[in-house]
Structure 1
Amino acid sequence: MTQTTTDLTQMLLDAAHRAGADAADVLVQYGRSNVVEMRGGALEHAERAEAVDLGLRVLVGQRQASISSSDIRPDTITILAERAVAMAREAPEDPYIGLAEPSQLATGWNIDTLELVDPAPEPAPTTLQDRAAGAEAAALGVDGITQCQSATAAYETRDIHIAMSNGFAASYARTDSYIGTTAIAGSGAGMERDNDGDSRIFAADLRSPEDIGARAGARAAERLGARKPPTGAYPVLFDERISSSLIGHLLSAANGSAVARGASWLRGRLGDQVLPAALSLIEDPHRVRVRSSGMFDAEGLPTRRRAIIEDGRLTGWTLDLATARQLGMVPTGNAKRRLSGAPTPGHWNIALTQSEHSRADLIAQMGTGLLVTSMIGSTINPNTGDYSRGAAGFWVEQGQIAYPVNECTIAGSLPDFLGRMIPANDARTHLSSVVPSLLVEGLTLAGA
Structure 2
Amino acid sequence: MSSEIDSSTLLSRASQLIDLARKAGADAADAVVVRSRSQSVSVRLGKVEGTESSESDDFSLRVFIGKRVASVSANPGFDLQALAERAVAMAKVSPEDPFACLADEASLSKSYPDLQLLDTTEVSSEMLREASLAAEAAALAVKGVTNSSGAGASAGMGGLVLVTSHGFEGSYMASRFGHSVSVIAGEGTGMERDYDFDSRLYYAELDDPAEIGRRAGERVIKRINPRQVPTGKDVTVIFDPRVARGFVGHIAGAINGAAVARKSSFLRDKMGQPVLKSGLSITDDPLIVRGPSSRPFDGEGVSGERLVMIEDGVLKHWFLSTSTARELGLETNGRGVRGGTSVSPSSTNLALEPGDIAPEDLIRSVGNGFYVTELIGHGVNMITGEYSRGATGFWIENGELTFPVSEVTIASNLKEMFMRLTPANDIDRKFGVAAPTFAIEGMTLAGR
TM range (shorter): over 0.9
- 8 Å Cα contact 1:420/1:440 also seen in 2: yes
Q: Partners of 2:245 and 2:419 in 1: how far apart?
A: 15
Other-structure match for 1:81: 84
Deviations along 1:266-320, one digit per CA (max 9) or x if unpaired, are 1221111111111111111111112211121111112101110111111121111
Gaps of 5+ in 1: none
- 8 Å Cα contact 2:68/2:94 also seen in 1: yes
Identity score, percent: 42
Other-structure match for 2:430: 430
Q: Partners of 2:326 and 2:55 in 1: how far apart?
A: 39
Alignment of 1:204-243 (within 5 A): 204-233=204-233, 234-243=235-244
Other-structure match for 2:14: 9
Deviations along 1:9-52, one digit per CA (max 9) or x if unpaired, are 12322342344322211111332211011111111111121222
Distance change (3 Å), C-alpha of 1:189 and 1:85:
farther
Stretch of structure 1 that moved more, 42-51 or 236-245 = 42-51
Q: Partners of 1:397 and 1:446 in 2: how far apart?
A: 18
| Partner SS for 2:356 | coil
| 1:104 and 2:96 matched | no
Q: Partners of 1:10 and 1:40 in 2: how far apart?
A: 50
Alignment of 1:302-321 (within 5 A): 302-321=303-322
Q: Partners of 1:251 and 1:159 in 2: how far apart?
A: 23
Q: Partners of 1:35 and 1:237 in 2: how far apart?
A: 35
Other-structure match for 1:418: 418
| 1:42 and 2:47 matched | yes
Q: Partners of 1:88 and 1:395 in 2: how far apart?
A: 59
Other-structure match for 2:329: 328
TM-score (norm 2): 0.95
Q: Partners of 1:159 and 1:258 in 2: how far apart?
A: 26
- Residue identity in the other structure for 2:104: E
Aligned partner (choices 92, 96, 101) of residue 93 of structure 1: 96
Q: Alignment RMSD, CA only?
A: 1.7
- 8 Å Cα contact 1:8/1:28 also seen in 2: no
- 8 Å Cα contact 2:67/2:98 also seen in 1: yes
- Residue identity in the other structure for 2:65: V
Other-structure match for 2:29: 24
Superposed displacement of residue 392, structure 1: 1.0
Q: Partners of 1:62 and 1:45 in 2: how far apart?
A: 48
Distance change (3 Å), C-alpha of 1:355 and 1:101:
closer
- 8 Å Cα contact 1:229/1:447 also seen in 2: yes
Other-structure match for 2:298: 297
Superposed displacement of residue 119, structure 1: 3.4
TM-score (norm 1): 0.95
Other-structure match for 1:52: 57
Deviations along 1:98-154, one digit per CA (max 9) or x if unpaired, are 1122211111212x2x1100132x111111111111100011011111121111011
Distance change (3 Å), C-alpha of 1:309 and 1:44:
same
Alignment of 1:83-232 (within 5 A): 83-110=86-113, 112=114, 114-120=115-121, 122-232=122-232
- 8 Å Cα contact 1:5/1:30 also seen in 2: no
Q: Partners of 1:188 and 1:306 in 2: how far apart?
A: 50
- 8 Å Cα contact 1:136/1:181 also seen in 2: yes
- 8 Å Cα contact 1:5/1:160 also seen in 2: no
Q: Partners of 2:439 and 2:225 in 1: how far apart?
A: 25
Other-structure match for 2:73: 68
Deviations along 1:228-274, one digit per CA (max 9) or x if unpaired, are 22211211001111102222111111111111111111122111111
Superposed displacement of residue 159, structure 1: 4.5
Other-structure match for 2:353: 353
Figure out how many residues of one structure are paired with residues of the other and give that number: 442
Superposed displacement of residue 65, structure 1: 2.1
Superposed displacement of residue 391, structure 1: 1.1
Q: Partners of 2:186 and 2:201 in 1: how far apart?
A: 35
Stretch of structure 1 that moved more, 207-216 or 423-432 = 423-432
Q: Partners of 1:317 and 1:156 in 2: how far apart?
A: 31
Q: Partners of 1:360 and 1:84 in 2: how far apart?
A: 58
Stretch of structure 1 that moved more, 55-64 or 15-24 = 15-24
Q: Partners of 1:195 and 1:15 in 2: how far apart?
A: 51
Stretch of structure 1 that moved more, 139-148 or 425-434 = 425-434
- Residue identity in the other structure for 1:192: E
Other-structure match for 1:277: 278
Superposed displacement of residue 74, structure 1: 4.3
Distance change (3 Å), C-alpha of 1:316 and 1:29:
closer
Distance change (3 Å), C-alpha of 1:156 and 1:412:
same
Superposed displacement of residue 59, structure 1: 1.7
Superposed displacement of residue 96, structure 1: 1.1
Gaps of 5+ in 2: none
Q: Partners of 2:432 and 2:63 in 1: how far apart?
A: 32
| Partner SS for 1:343 | strand
| Partner SS for 2:48 | strand
Superposed displacement of residue 350, structure 1: 1.7
| Partner SS for 2:377 | strand
Q: Partners of 1:74 and 1:193 in 2: how far apart?
A: 47
| Partner SS for 1:44 | strand
| Partner SS for 1:136 | helix
- 8 Å Cα contact 1:390/1:410 also seen in 2: yes
